[in-house]
Structure 1
Amino acid sequence: MTDATPRLLPWSSPEGKPSYVLGDGTGLVSRLADDVEEAQLSLADGLVEDARRLLDARNWSPGELHLLTVELTESLTEIRRIATSRGARLRAASSADRPA
């Protein structure tokens, strides 16, 4: 195993706690995490488009706004986890590039 920074995975443990993987980023779990992150980002893009359409129509129901709020909150939570994970990996890579 390499001396790598733990990677925050885009899913939680069954207890709802953050999940991490150690490695060089080429293993099965890392590749699966990359695929899940890509799917989450793609879903967020679609949700933003849906939100814009709904809000532009200006004839939404309270139920539609509630559902939109729930979906946006879930998506924002996922995207924030991705950003946290990627930011930590960028900082680790940047630190590794600096001379000791």
Structure 2
Amino acid sequence: MSNPVTRLLPWTGSDGRTCLLITDHNTHGHVSRVADQVETVQLGMGVELIGHAEELLADPGAEPAQIRYLAARLTEALRDALRVAVSRGDRLRGAGGPASG
């Protein structure tokens, strides 16, 4: 494999460690397509979660346990979104896109 490309995948291993895909420049392979689909689902879930958060936080009767649960889910969604952003930024730089500073 000449000039392999490394992609940060949108999930971690069972031990919580980062998962990477090492491939040639084929960005349309099976694992790449699955990763693209997972990223789309993760970002969509984040959007839906924001709607739930707005409703719950506007409810003066919201219970502390509900708010803690919401905070945990928002943390997960933010972690997922940041992983997607890093992965996409890495791919842009690898494709000749601008490097972030």
Same fold (TM over 0.5): yes
RMSD: 1.4
Q: Hey, what's the Cα distance between the residues in 2 that align with 1:38 and 1:85? A: 13
Do structure 1's residue 85 and structure 2's residue 87 form an aligned pair?
Answer: yes
Q: 1:74 aligns with which of 73, 76, 79?
A: 76
State the TM-score, normalizing by the size of structure 2.
0.86
Report the alpha carbon displacement of residue 92 of structure 1 after superposing the two structures with TM: 1.1
Q: 1:12 matched to which residue of 2?
A: 12
Distance 2:66 2:57 in 1: 10
Structure 1: runs of 5+ lacking an equivalent: 96-100
Identity of matched residues, %: 38
C-alpha distance in structure 1 between counterparts of 2:3 and 2:36, whole Å: 20
**TM-score (norm. length: structure 1):** 0.87
Aligned to 1:22: 22
Runs of 5+ in structure 2 lacking a partner? none
Q: Which runs of 4+ in 1 moved over 3 A?
A: none
The structure with the largest helix share of the pair is 1
Asked which structure has the greater RCO (Cα within 8 Å, sep 6+), the reply is: 1
- Mapped to 2, the partners of 1:3 and 1:20 lie a distance apart of 16
| Change beyond 3 A, Cα 1:28–1:53 | same
Residues matched between the structures, number? 95
